[in-house]
Amino acid sequence: MAILQSRQLTKRFGGLVAVNRVSLAVEEGSIFGLVGPNGAGKSVFLNCVAGAQRPDDGRVIFRDQDTTGSPAERLCHLGLSRTFQIPQPFPRMTAIDTVLVAAHFGSPTDGVPPLEQARRSLRFVDFPHPEGTPVSGLNTVELKRLDLARALASRPKLLLLDELAAGLMTGQLGALEDILRKIRDSGVTIIMVEHVIRTILGLCDRLAVLRQGEKIADGPTREVAGDPAVIEAYLGQRR
Ligand SMILES: Nc1ncnc2c1ncn2[C@@H]1O[C@H](COP(=O)(O)OP(=O)(O)OP(=O)(O)O)[C@@H](O)[C@H]1O
Ligand SMILES: [Mg+2]
């Protein structure tokens, strides 16, 4: 069953069609990869699904409800959470407070108090510092971890990840991949935008490829990764 569908989703900025009639379906319990060259429309697509930007055309169906243009708060209550390509935390807050806000705010709780939920989320992502650490002292990689903990604390059914692996050293990728598998195995569906090919091939059940706003391929990961049109979109015309 699809937990999320986009139908002909379109977002324009003046004359630029950033997302052009993109339709896709994401199966519940899967990891779905959204890839494509810089400027392909991946982040704008996520923004439109997550309520950060309003699509100009097309529909978004999340958990059998038409959520097109719904604000992020409502989507969060329905079980949709996301991380940002560039995390923008409140620098004056501590790690635990950052996550606690989301724990208070998320989808209906199953009886776990927010503080416990927040602590669990920090543990789940192996946050490497004490919970009272100020956010201002964290590096980019740690901020991304914290952003993931924040997204998890709202108890999502669907998690949208925008370039979580960017900036990681090769040696750090395995740990992140393990965390994402653990999230998937806990019943959370993941849509991930990623440039790190190894991570995409290792994790994603299916891939959709965007180029200049249009979907140019969609299918099982191995098939899509071998598609000549996809290879060309990444590497340019072969000489
Ligand atoms: N707020 C905006 N106003 C105008 N144009 C925008 C806006 N946001 C994105 N764009 C444009 O829309 C297109 C798609 O951008 P998007 O950020 O979705 O690309 P992307 O696939 O996420 O790329 P990257 O891999 O570099 O993150 C780009 O041409 C970008 O310049
Ligand atoms: Mg992007």
Residue 5 backbone dihedrals phi, psi, to 5 degrees: -130, 140
User: Hey, is 226 helix, strand or coil?
Assistant: coil
User: Hey, is 201 helix, strand or coil?
Assistant: helix
For 89-129, how does the pLDDT look when each residue is reduced to its tens digit (9 = 90+)?
888 899 999 999 999 887 766 788 999 999 999 999 999 99
Say what the pLDDT of residue 239 is. 39
Residue spans of the chain under pLDDT 70: 108-109, 235-239
The number of beta carbons lying within 10 Å of the beta carbon of residue 185 is 9
What distance in Å separates the CA atoms of residue 82 and residue 72, rounded to the nearest whole number?
Answer: 10
Q: Which atom of ligand 1 is nearest to the CA of 213?
A: 14
Q: Are 114 and 166 in contact (CB under 8 A)?
A: no
Residue ranges per structural domain of the chain: 1-79+156-239, 87-155
What distance in Å separates the CA atoms of residue 183 and residue 189, rounded to the nearest whole number?
Answer: 8
Q: Which of 44, 196, 197, 209 to mutate to test the pocket of ligand 1 (most atoms within 8 A of CB)?
A: 44
For residue 32, the Cα-to-chain-centroid distance in whole angstroms is 10
- Judged by phi (left if over 0) then psi (alpha if -120 to 50, else beta), residue 69 lies in left
Say what the pLDDT of residue 128 is. 92
Residue nearest to atom 29 of ligand 1 (CA): 39
Say what the pLDDT of residue 86 is. 85
Say which CATH topology domain 1-79+156-239 has: Rossmann fold (3.40.50)
Residue 115 CA to ligand 2 center (angstroms) comes to: 32
Residue 126 CA to ligand 1 center (angstroms) comes to: 31
Task: Give the binding-site residues of ligand 1, using a 6 Å CB cut-off.
Answer: 13, 16, 18, 36, 38-44, 85
Say what the pLDDT of residue 235 is. 66
Residue 219 CA to ligand 2 center (angstroms) comes to: 21
The number of beta carbons lying within 10 Å of the beta carbon of residue 71 is 12
